[in-house]
Amino acid sequence: MLDHHTIEKYELGWLALSAVLVTLLFVGVISSMLTQTLPGIFTRQASYLDPAKLAGTPFAAPGLKAAPDGSLDAYVVARAFQFQPNVLRVPAGQAVTLHIVAVDVIHGLMLGQGNVNLELMPGHIATLKTRFNHPGTYTSQCHEYCGAGHQTMTFKLIVEAPE
């Protein structure tokens, strides 16, 4: 049987190895984030909108909007128990800025593509610029419990191939 000094020596080696592994993991995750795997994580500004006062903001008529310069902005409102719009069509390969806000309780949205997974705190607008490259229909659903109709709160992202 090993004596306790020897075991401690091995264990200190294991401790050092653990520290190295953890460091590598951290470096790996940070590099992945720096290469924009998580769209908008560093640029999401803290913008707050009083959820009672959507009128006069682009969220009053949510949906996809093209600016005169051709850039695309998609506005989505989450409220119990519906996303507005609940089907969002975007062209594949083009940059789109998503603006999503919940207006009553917390809701959540994960899109089937592009690592978009958001916890929508009421009033805090999630703004992120991304690009959907793979055409298709991506079904998802509100993923934060919001009440009795939570399971009916679906969302479809349709990424359309260019003609």
Partner 1 sequence: MTTVPAPTRPLEQVYAAHPEKKVTLYFLVTGLVLLLIGVAIGPLQALNYAGIDVYRYLPFLKSYYQGLSLHGVLNALVFTTYFISGLLLYLPCRDLKVRPNLVVAWSAYWIMTAGVLMAAWATLSNNATLLYTFYPPLMGSPLFYIGAALLVVGSLIIGVQVTLIWTIWKREHPGEVTPLVAFMSVATWMMWLLASLGLVVEVAFLLIPWSLGWTAGVDPLLARTLFWYTGHPIVYFWVLPAYISWYALLPSTAGGKIASETMARLSFVLFLLLSVPVGLHHQYADTGIAAPWKIIQMLLTFLVVIPSLLTAFSVGASLDIAARARGGRGWIGWTRFLPWKNPVFTAQVLAMISFIPGGAGGVVNASAALDSAVHNTAWIPGHFHITVGTATTLTFFGISFWLLPHLTRKPLASVKAALWASWLWFWGMIIFAVGMHWEGLIGIPRRTYLATATGLGDLIARAHIPMALTGISGVVLMFASIFYFYVIFATLLGKARVPESAEMPIPFSESLEQAEARAAGISPAGMKIAGAVRLLDRLWIFAALAALLVALMYGPVLIDLGLNAHPLPGLRLW
Please tell me whether residue 160 binds partner 1 under the rule CB under 8 A. Answer: no
Closest CA to 158 of 81, 79, 63: 63
Please tell me whether residue 146 binds Cu ion under the rule CB under 5 A. Answer: yes
Please tell me whether residue 119 binds partner 1 under the rule CB under 8 A. Answer: yes
Cβ at position 38, least distance to partner 1 in Å: 6
Nearer to partner 1, 90 or 103 (CB): 103
**Interatomic CA distance for residues 136 and 143, integer angstroms:** 21
Classify the phi-psi angles of 114: left when phi > 0, otherwise alpha if psi is within -120 to 50, otherwise beta: left
Interaction partner, residue 73 (partner 1, Cu ion, none; CB < 5-8 Å by kind): none
Phi then psi for residue 6, to 5 deg, are: -65, -45
Among 95, 151, 158, 161, binds partner 1 (CB under 8 A): 151
Cβ at position 155, least distance to partner 1 in Å: 8
Nearer to partner 1, 74 or 126 (CB): 126
- What does each C-alpha distance from 146 to 2, 122, 143 come to in angstroms? 57, 11, 9
Find the binding residues for Cu ion in span 106-145 (CB under 5 A): 142
